[in-house]
Structure 1
Amino acid sequence: MTVDEETASAARELSWLLSTLDETIGALRSGLQECLHLLAPSGPGSTLPLSTSRSEALKGFITRVGSRVTRGDMQVKMAGLPYTRGLQVYKLSVAADHTLMLEQLVDVGNYVVASLEVLRNGEEDGEEEEGADGDGGWLRKMDPKSVMQMLCALHANMKAARTALKGASAHRLFPFHAVDPKVFDPPLPANVAFDLYITEAAIIAELRTLESLVSPDPNKSAFFDISPFGFRERFAAAVGIHRDTAPGGHGGADAASDQVLRYNDTDVRVRELVRVESQDPTLMAAWAKLGGLEHVLGTTIKSLKLVMTAAGI
């Protein structure tokens, strides 16, 4: 077979491949719409437990409606927290007139909506070509390079959406971000940091009690120190004696008491860290669906590249 014949054969194969994309694009559109449905607010939402498994450090639940946490009640036992009157725990609840925003889900929704817009724009461009029949034929009428560009844009959006569900960006977490204390009732104490985020479709809650490292005031007696920690703890920190994370907490890199962090314009040390994970079935379904769409797009792009190269495009 001559080079020209090989090129002509590849061109016919390319035309056939573009015609088979009708079904692929239809499945992609359906999958994206299903993801939007999974992410959208619906009914009473999903109520998820937030409890440490081997201790009483944190017991409670949250209710997620779409990208917002509309309810949450937690009972906390951590060093430096006073007991709520009448209880042997510190009670922390999401205030009735506030919600906690899960920014990662906002990002995922934006990427899915952007992908549907890419498909709409591609279909409109294809149907403007002469001879398009408006019934999926728009793909065969589009320039292969334009089809490739569209598929790559879709693939990038799916990858970004999966990345958003895989983990939160550092700038949205402690110590770079602080939740508005008024989101909670009573307001979150100044010596507590709270994070709520998503890792691989699971909801993660982290509570940290903090020790403020305020430079000593020579004009002020140490007996009037506003630190929530006792004299023994402050003395131990000063001489380098450190307390390990309490049972029930799960220490992280920032849980070491000798690591100084900048939080809310103040130097602090993490005294205790409690981390709990709660699997969210709806987010797991969205995570799996997005993964499937990303795989299909990756395979389709690879096949199209090979045929386009053989056709000299």
Structure 2
Amino acid sequence: MIAQHPAIRRYGTAAIAEVAREIARGGIVAVPTETVYGLAADATDAAAVARIYAAKGRPGFNPLIVHVPDLAAAERIAVFDAEARALAARWWPGPLTLVLPLRRDAGIAALVTAGLDTIALRVPAHRAMRALLEACGKPLAAPSANASNGISPTRAEHVAASLGERVPLIVDDGACAAGVESTIVMAGRILRPGPITAEQLGLPLAASEGKVSAPGQLATHYAPSKPLRLNAVSGAPGEWLIGFGAVVGDDTLSASGDPVEAAARLFDALHRADASDPAAIAVAPVPEAGIGAAINDRLRRAAHR
């Protein structure tokens, strides 16, 4: 049997029209956001949402983030208090996800929230996802466009390599700018660190409670197929070393030690390491401050086996 490959369309009016038609038919498509590529479907269509879970092999208890065009659309789906509205006004459009009480009349497929009475909402800034939201006129459920627990995709080719024929269409608009998933906030606490840092938000990181209350909280997540060793200052035999700053490796997150550059390159570097010949991966230490918290969160989950 000849392997089937997804169709990759360069971002533009024609590409957005084509993927919007696929969404309207109840299909799934991959589209870039400013964080990572998302696997999008109509969040009001239970069958379409089920196709996301099937394509990713995603556990049914792990909820999805819903993308909407603006705050007004978000308020039709969730109940906002003053704090949430202030965060939205400051950071939307952008890489911030708010977990809020779900309105009973929101019309969102129950599978999206995995049975929770809250919903994760984001207003994206990327031109491709915004264009698709406008073309569809529907809220879009869109987790990262990769097999569940795999490395998140920051390029169209990552999506194709991870999902193959399970996704029919991919919009290619180059590499994602942020390179790590959105910051998730619930009830004044950060559930998942991301591009918008704790310092910027002035909010604490939530302690792990051992239960899933929002997307991206599984202990094992973002993982390559090879063993991953953290805080390595040199590579051992049989390891592909991903450097940072003064630690020089086979690849580097940032030779200058810039954590923002490191975040944008993180998943790209993990994809290259996973495709390399060595049987294991090592990653240099990255400072925890600022966006380093998000980088280290993803690396710890990737190393949890």
User: Structure 2-normalised TM-score?
Assistant: 0.25
Q: TM-score, normalized by length of structure 1?
A: 0.25
Q: Which has the higher helix share?
A: 1
